[in-house]
Structure 1
Amino acid sequence: MMPLFFFLFFLLMVVYAVLIAYYHKAWNKMPAFVLPEKQASVFISVIIAARNEEKNIQNLLQSLNDQRYPKALYEVIIIDDHSTDNTWSLLQELHFEQLQIRPLQLKDHIAETNTIASYKKKAIETGINAATGTLIVTTDADCRFNPLWLQTIAAFYEANEAKFIAAPVTYYNQSSLLSVFQTLDFLTLQGITAASVYKRFHSMCNGANLAYERSAFYEVNGFNNIDTIASGDDMLLMHKIFKQYPDKVYYLKNRWAIVTTEPAANWKQFFNQRIRWASKADRYDDKRIFLVLLLVYLLNVCFLAGAIAAFFKYTWLMLVLLLLLAKVLIEFPFVNSVAIFFGQQKLMKYFPFLQPLHIGYTIIAGWLGKFGHYEWKGRRIKK
């Protein structure tokens, strides 16, 4: 039994090493987009679903107001998703000269009931229906943007005639163990996202920084057939558009396009977020990404099983530590290259020491994403 387990463990590690090397090579090969001198002219509708975001609304609008993209070429549509705080009141009160802000209330379109799986999809859909822009850009209420954010997205869209654009996201406020851990984990995900989209290996993205043609959204019938899934307003929609336009889906690699978002405030919130992300793993039509996720999950389970076996046999402790070192050596160059792009290389000194924590969280979040439940924005969601 043990020799068979060792063989499986080693085989998974070899396949994983090949996969990470593939991502690393693709990341390094992917050219950074250079903003052209010519000003883009596409009209953009920025769509934001907000629920209980009173602490973030003012900074959000200020960051949007600071955009250097001409104010006449973008509108901001914020959909209040049944907030129980002062989000809606602030949206009514705050005004910025020239910034086109259109606040909407989701309760004017649908009531809050237990029969709706994804309010965020409903909110985004409501915003898109009210939008006038050719290009839809979605983000979150706790995000902040470089002043050239929209200008860079618009220029990239026009240069590539893109139908869907995944763009970079990272965290701010890296002052605690949890925030550092989240940032390093997210750097890995961003590197995989960019590499996989660039090579058209599989589709990945994050809803905090997306752009897609409004016409493409309607052409694939929006969130139809994926609206029974609580999560997936980003990746599941991306795959629908990818199937329609496989050569028109891109990752925008440019520092000015980076969106910064707030990390989870505590471990409970963090696990709920990651369980929410994991809950859609078996709903991807793109089976390549499912196989990647399965590989990662099985490898981490092997580490757990090996750690348990180490309590009974000393040689297993040596094996697990050796393979853990191999895992660090496999991942470090890739994540470090991504960290350099995001200006977060200083965090890489913590990377080796956070591996056991990462293995444990991956196993727990993956399991509960399939068989458990989670809470998000004050709502309890079951699988």
Structure 2
Amino acid sequence: MMPLFFFLFFMFMVVYAMLIAYYHKAWNRLPEFALPEKQASVFISVIISARNEEKNINALLQSLQDQQYPKELYEVIIINDHSTDNTWSLLQAYNGELMQLKTLQLSDHVEERNAIASYKKKAIETGINAAAGELIVTTDADCRFDAGWLQTIASFYETNEAKFIAAPVTYYNRSSLLSIFQTLDFLTLQGITAASVYKRFHSMCNGANLAYERSAFYEVDGFNNIDHIASGDDMLLMHKIFKLYPEKVFYLKNRHAIVTTEPAASWKQFFHQRIRWASKADHYDDKRIFWVLLLVYLLNVCFLAGAIASFWNHTWMMLVLLLLLAKVLIEFPFVNSVAIFFGQQRLMKYFPFLQPLHIGYTIIAGWLGKFGKYEWKGRTIKK
């Protein structure tokens, strides 16, 4: 039994090494977008769903107001998703002369069959229905933007005639263990996102920084057939558009396009966030990403099983440590190259030491994403 287990463990590691090498090569080959001299002119509608974001709203509005893109070429639509704090009052108090801002209230009516799962998608859909823009840009209420964010997205859209654009996201760097861990984990995800979209290997993105044609949204019937899933306003929609326009889905690699967002404030919030992300895994039409996620999960389970086995056979401890070192050596060059792009390279000194924590969280979040429940914006969602 043990020889068979070790063989599977070793084979998972070999395949994983090949996969990471593929991502690393694709990331390095993905060119950074250089803005053309010609000024973009597409009209943009920025859509944001906000729920209980009173501590972030003012900074969000200021960051949007500071955009270099001409004020007459973009509007901001913020949909209040039944906030129980002062979010709506703060939105109403904003001086509308500084930029084009529409504030909407999400209807109390949500179809019973969809219940809680529909809220964010319904908010985005409400915003799109009220939008005047040819290009829809979605982000979150706790995000901040470089002044050239919208200008870069608009130029990339017009240059490539894109239908869907996934763009870079990172976390504010805090000094806590939780913040460092989240940032490094997210850097890995961003590298994989960029590489997979560039190579059209599988669909992947993050809802904090997306752009897509309004017409393409309606062509794929929006969130229809995925509106019963609590997450998925990003990747599941992306795949619907990818199936219709496989050559018009892109990743925008440019530092001015980076969106910065808040990390989870506690370990509990972090796990609930990751469980929510994991919960949509079995809903992917793109089965390529399902097999990638399964490989990663099984590899991490092997590490846990090997660590448990080492209590009875100390030889296993040496084997697990050697494979753990191999995992670090496989991942480090890739994550380091992504960290350089995001200006987070100084955090890489912590990367090897956080591996056991990463393995544990992957196993727990993956399992609970399939069989558990989680809290999201004060709501409890059950699988």
Give CA-to-partner distance per residue, 1:191-220, whole Å, 9 cap, x none. 000000000000100000000000000000
In structure 1, C-alpha distance between the alignment counterparts of 2:211 and 2:329, rounded to whole Å: 35
Matches within 5 A, 1:22-33: 22-33=22-33
The answer to whether the 8 A contact 2:110-2:119 is kept is: no
The equivalent of 1:65 in structure 2 is: 65
The answer to whether the 8 A contact 2:167-2:252 is kept is: yes
In structure 2, C-alpha distance between the alignment counterparts of 1:204 and 1:329, rounded to whole Å: 25
The equivalent of 2:37 in structure 1 is: 37
SS of 1:76's equivalent? strand
SS of 1:36's equivalent? coil
Matches within 5 A, 1:107-126: 107=107, 110=110, 115-126=115-126
Matches within 5 A, 1:157-168: 157-168=157-168
In structure 2, C-alpha distance between the alignment counterparts of 1:174 and 1:46, rounded to whole Å: 28
Give CA-to-partner distance per residue, 1:108-157, whole Å, 9 cap, x none. 66489982423100000000000010000000000000000000000000
In structure 2, C-alpha distance between the alignment counterparts of 1:39 and 1:220, rounded to whole Å: 30
The equivalent of 1:180 in structure 2 is: 180
The alpha-carbon distance between structure 1 residues 292 and 114, as it changes in their structure 2 partners (threshold 3 A), is: closer
User: What's the offset of the Cα at 1:23?
Assistant: 0.2
The answer to whether the 8 A contact 1:65-1:96 is kept is: no
The answer to whether the 8 A contact 1:78-1:104 is kept is: yes
In structure 2, C-alpha distance between the alignment counterparts of 1:104 and 1:113, rounded to whole Å: 24
The answer to whether the 8 A contact 1:167-1:251 is kept is: yes
Structure 2: stretches of 5+ with no match in the other structure:
none
The amino acid of 1:115's aligned partner reads: A
User: What's the offset of the Cα at 1:77?
Assistant: 0.2
Give CA-to-partner distance per residue, 1:310-346, whole Å, 9 cap, x none. 1111100000000000000000000000000000000
Give CA-to-partner distance per residue, 1:146-194, whole Å, 9 cap, x none. 0000000000000000000000000004221000000000000000000
The equivalent of 1:249 in structure 2 is: 249
The answer to whether the 8 A contact 1:174-1:183 is kept is: no
**TM-score, structure 1 normalization:** 0.98
Aligned length: 383
In structure 2, C-alpha distance between the alignment counterparts of 1:261 and 1:201, rounded to whole Å: 27
The answer to whether the 8 A contact 2:116-2:381 is kept is: no
Structure 1: stretches of 5+ with no match in the other structure:
none
Give CA-to-partner distance per residue, 1:276-304, whole Å, 9 cap, x none. 00000010000000000000000000000
**TM-score, structure 2 normalization:** 0.98
User: What's the offset of the Cα at 1:260?
Assistant: 0.2
The equivalent of 2:372 in structure 1 is: 372
Q: Percent identity?
A: 86
The answer to whether the 8 A contact 2:152-2:257 is kept is: yes
The amino acid of 1:302's aligned partner reads: C
The equivalent of 2:198 in structure 1 is: 198
Between stretches 110-119 and 289-298, larger displacement belongs to 110-119
The runs of at least 4 consecutive aligned structure 1 residues that moved more than 6 Å come to 111-114
The equivalent of 1:342 in structure 2 is: 342
In structure 1, C-alpha distance between the alignment counterparts of 2:177 and 2:185, rounded to whole Å: 12
The equivalent of 1:292 in structure 2 is: 292
SS of 1:118's equivalent? helix
RMSD over aligned Cα atoms = 1.2
In structure 1, C-alpha distance between the alignment counterparts of 2:340 and 2:223, rounded to whole Å: 35
The amino acid of 1:83's aligned partner reads: S
The alpha-carbon distance between structure 1 residues 95 and 260, as it changes in their structure 2 partners (threshold 3 A), is: same
The answer to whether the 8 A contact 2:110-2:118 is kept is: no
In structure 2, C-alpha distance between the alignment counterparts of 1:254 and 1:36, rounded to whole Å: 13
User: What's the offset of the Cα at 1:37?
Assistant: 1.4
The alpha-carbon distance between structure 1 residues 65 and 109, as it changes in their structure 2 partners (threshold 3 A), is: farther
Matches within 5 A, 1:1-383: 1-107=1-107, 110=110, 115-383=115-383
The amino acid of 1:329's aligned partner reads: L
The amino acid of 2:83's aligned partner reads: S
In structure 2, C-alpha distance between the alignment counterparts of 1:365 and 1:75, rounded to whole Å: 37
